Amino acid sequence: MTGVAIVCGVLLVILGVAGYVYGLTEGHASPTALIPAAFGIAIIVLAYIGRARESLRMHMMHVAVLLGLLGFIFPAGRVIANYATFSMSAATVSQLAMSLICLVFVVLSVRSFIDARRRRLTD
């Protein structure tokens, strides 16, 4: 599961950096474009801690999934709140992409947690 967390974290970092660079090229860069990168870095760090310390893996992955859930809810909520004035701006695309990446991460993580629980119960 740590591998999935790292991949999703890297995707979020790429999304954040790409959004910021795009803003620089358009002349209106905003530090808020780096929010996906911050989430991605946090998820990557948690995954690496989980890999390094077996005793902390479960706890680190649960925190990572909580971050993923927040990374889904907040940008999706902003897109929904701004539905009346919806436009396919770079910010909207970034918010949708962050929500999608985080949703996939949360779903895969929950499936992994359920499978791990079933394996523990049958052992």
| Domain locations in the chain as residue ranges | 2-122
Residue 63 belongs to what H/E stretch? Answer: helix 57-81
Report the candidate in 79, 40, 30 with the shortest Cα–Cα distance to residue 22.
30
Q: Give per-residue pLDDT as tens, 24-71.
A: 998 888 899 999 999 999 999 999 999 999 999 999 999 999 999 999
Segment 79-106 mean pLDDT:
90
Q: Is the distance from CB of 8 to CB of 37 less than 8 angstroms?
A: no
Integer angstrom CA distances of residue 12 from 22, 61, 81, 100? 15, 17, 22, 10
Q: Is the distance from CB of 67 to CB of 5 less than 8 angstroms?
A: no
Give the chain's largest Cα–Cα span. 59
3-state DSSP: the chain helix, strand, coil percent, rounded to 5?
90, 0, 10
Q: How far apart are CA 87 and CA 99, in angstroms?
A: 17
If pLDDT is split at 50, 70 and 90, which confidence band does 90 have? confident
Residues 5/115/108/66 CA torsion (nearest 10 deg): -60
Sign of CA dihedral 117, 118, 120, 121: positive
